[in-house]
Amino acid sequence: MKNLNFDNDLRECTLCEHRCGVDRTAGDLGVCRMAGPLVASRTLHPAPPESYTIFMAGCNFKCLGCQNWTISQFPDNRMPIEGYVEPRSLAEESIRMLESAPGVLMRADRVFFSGGEPTIHLPFIESFMAEARRIRPELKVNFDTNGFMTENSLRRVLSFTTSLTFDLKAYYDDTMRAITGAPVEPVLRNAEIVGRNAPDKLWEYRIVAIPGINEDDIEPLCRFLASISKELPVAFLAFRPNFVLDEHLGAPIQLMHRCVEQAKAVGLKNVTYAGMTNIPGKMGTLLEEVAEAYARPGAKLAASYARSKGCITHPRDCANCQSMSNCPIKKYIPWRNC
C-alpha cells in the first residue's frame, strides 16, 4: 500500500455505510476484509453493456446466493485472484483491449467495474479513471454496485461514471439483513438519489428473484421505483442455486413472469427478465432458533440457511458481529454452482 496516492481515503475507511473506520493502509480489516485494492480478474465481456470488465476482489456484503462468491468472499475463502495492478497500467491495458479486434467485434464500448463490490476500492478506481481519461477523454465506464455506499461515495461515483448497474436485493429490512447481513435503508436511499437525480446514468436496477425468500419484496420494490419514475429500467434476474443457497430451488419461469406482471401493474414501463429458470432444488429447513428474530417468512428461511452454515448474529448484522474476522459464511465452499 505504500506510495499510493489514494492512501488517505483508506486510513479511516468510511467508503461504504458500514463506516468501519479502520486503517486499511495498516492492514486493519473491516466488514469487507480488504486492505488494498486487488483485481480478481479482467476480460472482454459480452453481457450488456458490452465491455472490458474488471472484477475487483472483496465485498461489503455476505449475500447467501452470491454468484461471484469466489471473488466477493476473498480473502477468507482463499480463492486465487490476480492481485494488485497499477492504475496506469490497468488503464492502458483496458483501452488497448477495447480497441483490439475482439473488442471492436464485440462492440465493447466501455470499462465495467464489478466484483465483489467496487465501492470498497473507489479511490483506486478514481485513480484508474484519471489515467484512462488522460489517454482517452471520452472513455465510458460502468459502475456495478450493491448500492451500500455513503452519499459522499455515491456523489464521487456519479461524477465519473457513464452508466450504473444497481442491484436491489430486498425492500424490507429483515429480508435484506437475512440475505446480505446489512440494512436496507442506505440502498433504498441511494437508489432514489440515482433515480431522481441521475436517471440518464442508470443502465438498470437489477433484482434477483429468489423463490420463497424475497418474493414478498418484489411488489413493494416495484412500487418504490415507480414512485420515483415509471420510466426507470428494471431487470429481474432468475436466481440460480449458488454459494450458501447451493441446494435452494432455482427461480421457476412462473416467478419471473409474475415479477414482470407486478412491475407493470404498478406502472413501470421498462421491465425485462433474464436468466436460466427451473433449476432443480429444494426449500431449506426453517430453524426456530433464528425465526423469532425476523418478521417475514422469506427472511426466516434465508436466516435459517445462514445459521445452518454457522452465522451466529441474528438479525444478521455483519458490522457488529463478533465473528466478523472469522466469518463462517465467507469461508463456505458450495457443493454446486449453477
Condensed to tens digits (0 to 9), the pLDDT of residues 86-98 reads: 999 999 999 999 9
Q: Identify whether 334 is preceded by a cis peptide bond (ω within 30 of 0).
A: no
Half-sphere exposure of 48 (CA within 13 A, CB side): 5
Residue 100 burial (CB count, 10 A): 14
Q: What local confidence, expressed as pLDDT, does residue 4 receive?
A: 47
Confidence at residue 230, expressed as pLDDT on a 0 to 100 scale: 98
Q: Is the pLDDT confidence value at 6 over 80?
A: no
CA distances, 315 to each of 146, 163, 180, 306, 330 (Å): 20, 34, 11, 11, 17
Distance of alpha carbon 92 from its chain centroid, rounded?
A: 26
E-strand spans in the chain? Answer: 39-45, 51-56, 110-114, 140-145, 163-167, 202-209, 233-238, 270-274
| Beta-ladder partners of 52 | 44, 111
Neighbouring residues of 287: CB distance < 8 A, sequence distance ≥ 6: 303, 304, 307, 308
176 located within any domain: yes
39 in a domain, yes or no?
yes
Burial class of residue 326 in the structure, from the number of CB atoms within 10 Å of its CB (0-12 exposed, 13-18 middle, 19+ buried)? exposed
Q: What is the pLDDT of residue 2?
A: 38
Residue partners of 156: CB distance under 8 A and separation at least 6 = 122, 126
Quote the CA–CA distance of 27 and 24 in Å, as a whole number. 5
Confirm whether 320 is domain-assigned.
Answer: no
- What pLDDT, on the 0 to 100 scale, is given for residue 1? 35
Segment 190-218 mean pLDDT: 98
Who wins on pLDDT, 217 or 9? 217
Residue corresponding to grid cell 465483489: 116
Residue 70 has pLDDT above 50, yes or no: yes
- For position 3, what pLDDT does the model report? 40
Question: What pLDDT digit, counting tens, does each position of 23-41 carry?
Answer: 999 999 999 999 999 999 9
The pLDDT of residue 337 is 77
Domain that holds residue 244: 7-285
Q: Does the structure show a pLDDT above 60 at 264? A: yes
For the chain, how big is the Rg over CA atoms in Å?
19
Report how many domains make up the chain: 1
CATH number of domain containing 171: 3.20.20.70
Running DSSP on this structure, what letter comes out for residue 199?
G
Residues ≥6 apart with Cβ < 8 Å to 95: 132, 135, 136, 139
Read off the pLDDT of each residue in 266-271 and give the average, rounded to a whole number: 98
Q: Does 21 reside within a domain?
A: yes
Residue 288: predicted pLDDT: 95
**Measured distance CA(96)–CA(109) in Å, rounded:** 12
Decide if 159 is inside a domain. Answer: yes
pTM of the model as a whole: 0.96
- Does the pLDDT at position 47 exceed 90? no
The answer to whether position 148 is within a domain reads yes
Judge whether 158 and 73 are in contact, CB under 8 Å: no
Find all residues with CB under 8 Å of 47, minimum gap 6, and list them.
none
In a domain, 336, yes or no: no
Evaluate whether 61 touches 180 at the Cβ level (below 8 Å).
yes
Average pLDDT value for residue range 121-136: 97
Give Cα separations from 230 to 153, 196, 217 (angstroms).
Answer: 26, 11, 18
> Is residue 143 situated within a structural domain?
yes
Q: Decide the pairing of beta strands 202-209 and 110-114.
A: unpaired
**Element (H or E) spanning 307, and its range?**
helix 297-308
Is it the case that residue 42 has pLDDT exceeding 90? yes
pLDDT at 5 over 80: no
At 101 the pLDDT is 98
pLDDT digits (tens, 9 = 90+) for 214-235: 999 999 999 999 999 999 999 9
